[in-house]
Amino acid sequence: MRGETIRYLVLDADGVLTDCRLYYTDDGREIKSFNVRDGHGIKLLMRAGIGVAIITGRYSKAVEHRAKDLQIEYLVQGAKDKKAALLNFSQQVGVGPEEMAYMGDDVVDLPAMALCGMSIAPNDAADMVRERADIVTSMRGGHGAVREAAEMILRRLGLFEKAMERYVG
Amino acid sequence: MWVKLLSAFVLLGLVLGIGFIVQDNDRERTDAAGPGTGSAEQPARTAGGIVMYETKPDSGSSLVIHAASATEGRDRVVVLEEFRLEQSNGLKLTGDRARYDSDRALLDIIGPVRVNTADGWQADLNGLTWDRKTKKASTDRPLVVKGAQGTITADRGEFFDDFNRILLAGDVHANLSPHLLHH
């Protein structure tokens, strides 16, 4: 069964961790907004022993900062071929794509999504992505979609209750 | 002669017709944008629990804003509630409510705000306008500045170079460490 064992969640950045809007000011500053609950979802996964990686087609200092703040060790930016980036990551960590979940929002993510054991799309992903994803979250990208995916993975692996112990006793 | 005159009328008609079409298109665009476009009073969307990163690709400087909620107006002015702002040089600002105009790099804080600098100074203010492009901030209300070397109160203040230099004005009182005065 696909997605029975998930050892990594691989995330796209724009449209998944953010709401897809890119802000550039006239003096070259870039602004990206992330959701705090998504960040906590990533932390929950990491505490449960599930690794998190970001593979994005763009290059952004803001994503670099966010990854650093969340202690996400594996960040690939400027990945024009996400499937190749995923395979490279898979080789580096010694975990096959079938043991990874991939969350993406656009057609460029489809080849990588098809390789993984579980594919997830935010609610506002491109139609083709939503149609092909194993799971479509009820939340939009940048608005809690990653948190929802994280909780869903934890539940599927039977780790959710343990992850919540520190909050609800 | 008549042919020329008729051609002129047809040409005039075409020009006027195009003029009307252009006007109609403009009206359509305005209608589609809806009322209140360009006004910060018309929120486009609200998000709860955000972390906003502002970075400059050619330098290491960055600004991180944490906020319990952010409401973005259609003019891209963001109203932040319960915010904490951290600049890569160690400067921190915390407050209840602020408006951030990212295009103009202008932060307007409403109500109490605390400023902590990397070298250990803390300022408690009520209202602050910070122009991040010119690195100048000002408040026209009483403030208290505290540090290891003493406490200073004043009626108003201006801050330069990202709060590295302070100009205090009005009824200024300083309670400084004797150690500092000996030097």
C-alpha–C-alpha distance, residues B55 and B35, integer Å: 32
C-alpha–C-alpha distance, residues A44 and A162, integer Å: 10
Closest-CA residue in chain B for A59?
Answer: B57
Q: A160 pLDDT exceeds 90?
A: yes
Q: Give the one of B57, B62, B103 whose C-beta lies nearest to A28's C-beta.
A: B57
Q: B136 pLDDT exceeds 50?
A: yes
Q: Give the one of B56, B70, B76 whose C-beta lies nearest to A28's C-beta.
A: B56
Chain B neighbors of A33, CB-CB under 8 A: 47, 50-53, 70
- Name the pairing type of β-strands B106-116 and B92-101: antiparallel
- A8 pLDDT tier (thresholds 50, 70, 90): very high
C-alpha–C-alpha distance, residues A59 and B171, integer Å: 50
Size of interface A-B (CB pairs under 8 A): 68
Cα dihedral sign, A130-A133-A137-A141: negative
CB contact under 8 A, A36 and B52: no
How many angstroms away from the CA of A99 is the closest CA of chain B? 30
Interface of A with B (CB under 8 A): 19, 23, 25-37, 39, 60-62, 65-66, 69, 142-143
CATH architecture of B2-34+43-181: Sandwich (2.60)
3-state secondary structure of A162: helix
pLDDT of residue A66: 94
C-alpha–C-alpha distance, residues A34 and A14, integer Å: 10
CB contact under 8 A, B53 and A34: yes
Q: Give the one of A25, A39, A60 whose C-beta lies nearest to B102's C-beta.
A: A25
Q: B4 pLDDT exceeds 60?
A: no
C-alpha–C-alpha distance, residues B133 and B106, integer Å: 8
Closest-CA residue in chain A for B101?
Answer: A25
3-state secondary structure of B65: strand
pLDDT of residue B95: 96
Which residues touch B76 (CB under 8 Å, ≥6 apart)?
A23, B101, B102, B103
Q: A29 pLDDT exceeds 80?
A: no
- Contact criterion met (CB below 8 Å) for A153 and A51: no
pLDDT of residue B20: 36
Tokens 């998930």 appear where? A6
Q: Share the mean pLDDT of chain B.
A: 78
Q: B116 pLDDT exceeds 70?
A: yes
Chain B neighbors of A23, CB-CB under 8 A: 76, 102
- Name the pairing type of β-strands A51-55 and A74-76: parallel
- B17 pLDDT tier (thresholds 50, 70, 90): very low
**Angle at Cα B56 formed by Cα B50 and Cα B60, nearest 5°?**
100
ipTM, 2 decimals? 0.81
CB contact under 8 A, A35 and B47: yes
pTM for this structure? 0.76
- Contact criterion met (CB below 8 Å) for A75 and A67: yes
Q: Give the one of A27, A36, A65 whose C-beta lies nearest to B62's C-beta.
A: A65
CB contact under 8 A, B103 and A27: no
Closest-CA residue in chain A for B47?
Answer: A143
C-alpha–C-alpha distance, residues B157 and B117, integer Å: 15
Q: What is the mean pLDDT of residues A149-164?
A: 95
Q: Which two tokens stand for residue B118?
A: 């990397």
3-state secondary structure of A55: strand
